[in-house]
A and B are shown apart, each in its own frame.
Chain A
């Protein structure tokens, strides 16, 4: 995304209009162009560039305080950007008041109006747009049916279950056909089972109405299951934006690798760059070969990274011409039900873990010696971001 942002700015020479506006025409429904947000002198969001296409489901994923909610609130107009522009459906809205932006916002606590019935809550945005009663009624009925809320139309929010309240909040946010739906941890207040169920419901509803969605969560499973693309945020900086599989398989830095799924990350130094990148990894004897395209660090110092499921574990020394290999002894094992997680230690003291089927439990007793091996294609050399 950053590259695209820079390209956009570079092309400004030939076109008078701001880069964001042109990108807004081509790239989509929502465009953040170099958005910054400072609280006093603490940066909350730093140089945020993101374009969301029409009908796309994009998630901002990150730990709390990473700036994801702030970015969403800037788009909603509940927070003002210190610098940069925000475009909505090709229109600059950076200085527009929230009520003029035509955005559907779903709050974590739903923010349903307690003194209005379900139908009145859903009709509220239509009433604010001075839509005729009969027409509004039609829209409300349609949305109630879509969210299976028709039997509850005359109930008050406090008479509904959490999942039903969630659906009302959702219905209220899209009944007026907003340019984009913003959701800030909308499933956060639900219990585990209901959350999984609502996740499916949310995704199918989004597909049916073709809504453009910007979703914020700290739950990686939710992000992976729902999103067309995920943007990982950390310390106010968008680290990487990619489809879920690419994000998992090809993280560009150690923060993304650690935050999403399990990974083994070890400090490393690059010693050679060519067809393969050759790195020296702390705690692993010898040199490790990494595919050139898996080399994502601009500096010689970085982190060696591999997913545990890409590691092959065996008792015999593998063919080192084809595979990177290291000898280890088992330090401990953790029982996970269908699998066990085996913690191993290299002779130089680096810790690595692999996942093996529970049936093989007896083979990995503490103290037993094994060889770990992997191909150059499966491991990566990443920029260090903590």
Chain B
């Protein structure tokens, strides 16, 4: 490693004083920084860029070259239904996680550092549990004889479970994705100077106006970017809709899996995956343009 030479680099233009030993020639061996950046780039190229490229290729080459797969998908109304379900689910989950996550993040940012550390841990621990396990847990909770059904029974007069419905998928996905907005928004709220709302109060703003006009605008970038993140993750969600949802809740990821595992139609699977990629990118760019919020995590 030649880390030292890179880190203790002279300031630009700062020639060593005459009589001093000139710094060792750089550039022959890879420096620490190039290696630190190069390894992940190489890794991503191998495990991400290559497969994605391969997939993009498959969508236009299998079973035969051309855009046949795309015209087939575009003229199939069930594909459009699936896309609509996917977008709707992701949107519902994105809005819900942000709405539920913001108050939690607000509380975490305002409480003492020690409490916040402990409570953040409570937010993160479920995050470490497998999505599969958590989705199965929701099957138990939301099923016909599940806890949720039993508790709600006297209120709704309905002993049918929520399982295999859109509500079930939204509930389970919201639960799984909730930590993202909480942690991202908390990160931003932590940066907001606590004297700002107080300054607003002293300048004549009531508590509500101080919050809405001073505090909230500063949190908007985090709210938008975390919502965007959840939305994009939601577009590709597979396990939860497949387990908790019914046939009507088939998301595009579920249909892709069917094409691969049941129909052995790799070409169509690749086509749908490409459509998902384009959709996610397009929507991200639209949100970015509309809200002027750059990047998924902006502090």
Is residue A172 contacting chain B, with contact meaning CB distance below 8 A?
yes
Bound-state Cα–Cα, A78 to B203, Å: 12
Do the beta carbons of B195 and A111 come within 8 Å of each other?
Answer: yes
Count residues on chain A whose CB falls below 8 Å from chain B CBs.
24
Contact B202 A109 (CB under 8 A): no
In the complex, A128 Cα to B205 Cα: how many Å? 6
> How many Å from the CB of A120 to the closest CB on chain B?
10
On whether the beta carbons of B203 and A124 are closer than 8 Å, the reply is: yes
B147: CB under 8 A from chain A? Answer: no
Does B217 lie at the interface of the complex (its beta carbon under 8 Å from any beta carbon of A)? yes
> Is A76 an interface residue when CB atoms closer than 8 A count as contact?
yes
Complex CA–CA separation, A99 to B203 (angstroms): 6
B188 to chain A, nearest CB (A): 12
Interface residues of B in 191-235 (CB under 8 A from A): 193, 195-196, 198-206, 209-210, 213-214, 217-218
- Which of the residues A77, A107, A115, A176 comes within 8 Å of B199, measured between beta carbons? A107
B201 touches A99 (CB 8 A): yes
Whether the pair B218, A115 counts as a contact (CB closer than 8 A) is: yes
Check B204 against A125 for contact (C-beta < 8 Å): yes
Residues of B near A97 (CB, < 8 A) are 201, 206
Residues of A within 8 A of B201 (CB): 77-78, 97-99
> How far apart sit A102 and B205, CA to CA, in the bound complex (Å)?
11
Q: Are B196 and A113 in contact (CB under 8 A)?
A: yes
| Residue in B193, B204, B213, B217 with the greatest tally of chain A CB atoms within 10 Å | B204
Separation of A115 and B209 alpha carbons in the complex (Å) = 15
CB distance from A104 to the nearest CB of B (A): 8
| Given the contacts A109-B195, A111-B195, A76 and B218 also touching, CB distance less than 8 Å | no
Which residues on the B side are within 8 Å of A99 (C-beta)?
201-206, 210
Q: Which applies to chain A's interface (DSSP): helix, strand, loop or mixed?
A: loop
Across the interface, which residues of A come within 8 angstroms of B205, CB to CB?
Answer: 99, 124, 128
Bound-complex Cα distance A76 to B218 (A): 24
Q: Which residue of A lies closest to B202 (CB)?
A: A105
Q: Are A76 and B209 in contact (CB under 8 A)?
A: no
Pick the contact of A172 from B198, B203, B206, B217 — CB < 8 Å?
B203
Listed residue (A77, A99, A103, A173) with the most chain B CB atoms within 10 angstroms of its CB:
A99
CB-CB under 8 A from B195, the residues of chain A are 107, 109, 111
Give the Cβ gap from A100 to chain B, nearest Cβ, in Å: 8
A residues within 8 A CB of B209?
128
Question: Which residue in A109, A114, A173, A176 is a CB contact (below 8 Å) of B218?
Answer: A114
- Distance in angstroms from A178 CB to nearest chain B CB is 9
> How many angstroms between the C-alpha atoms of A105 and B200 in the bound complex?
10
- Which residues on the A side are within 8 Å of B200 (C-beta)? 113, 124, 128
Residues of B within 8 A of A203 (CB): none
Candidate in A101, A102, A104, A113 with the most chain B CB atoms within 10 angstroms? A113
From B202, B210, B217, A76 is in contact (CB under 8 Å) with: B202
User: Do A111 and B204 have beta carbons less than 8 Å apart?
Assistant: no
| A272 to B202 alpha-carbon distance, docked (Å) | 54
State whether the Cβ of A129 lies closer than 8 Å to any Cβ in chain B.
yes
With A114-B218, A115-B218, A128-B209 as known contacts, state yes or no: A98 contacts B196, CB within 8 Å.
no
In the assembled complex, the Cα of A113 lies from the Cα of B197 at a distance in Å of 9
CB distance from B199 to the nearest CB of A (A): 4
Please encode chain B, from 132 to 160, with 1 for each CB lying within 8 Å of some chain A CB and 0 for all others: 00000000000000000000000000000
Do A113 and B204 touch (CB < 8 A)?
Answer: no
Which residues, 117 to 133 on A, are CB-close (under 8 Å) to B?
A: 124-125, 128-129
Q: Which of chain A's residues have a CB closer than 8 A to the CB of B199?
A: 105, 107, 111, 113
Give chain B residues whose Cβ lies under 8 Å from the Cβ of A176: 203-204
CB distance from B76 to the nearest CB of A (A): 47
Assuming the contacts A78-B198, A113-B214, A115-B218, asked whether A128 and B193 have C-beta atoms less than 8 A apart, the reply is no
**Closest residue to A129 on the B side, CB-wise?**
B204
- The residue on B at minimum CB distance from A76 is B202
Given contacts A76-B202, A98-B202, contact A109 B217 (CB under 8 A): no
| Residues on the A chain within 8 Å of B217, using CB | 115
Please indicate which of the listed interface residues B202, B206, B210, B214 has the most CB atoms of chain A within 10 Å of its own CB: B202
Residues of A within 8 A of B214 (CB): 113
- CA A129 – CA B217 in complex, angstroms? 20
Using Cβ atoms and an 8 Å threshold, which residues of chain B touch A172? 203
CA distance A104 to B204 in the complex (A): 9
Contact with A along B103-147 (1 / 0, CB 8 A): 000000000000000000000000000000000000000000000
B199 to chain A: closest residue by CB: A111
Most buried by A among B195, B198, B203, B213: B203
Extra A-B contacts (8), CB below 8 Å, given A99-B210, A124-B213, A172-B203: A77-B201, A78-B198, A101-B202, A104-B202, A107-B198, A109-B195, A111-B193, A128-B200
Q: What are 8 A-B residue pairs whose CB atoms fall within 8 Å in the complex?
A: A99-B201, A104-B202, A113-B196, A113-B200, A115-B217, A128-B204, A128-B209, A176-B204
**Top-6 shortest CB links A-B:** A128-B204, A111-B199, A125-B203, A105-B202, A111-B195, A98-B201
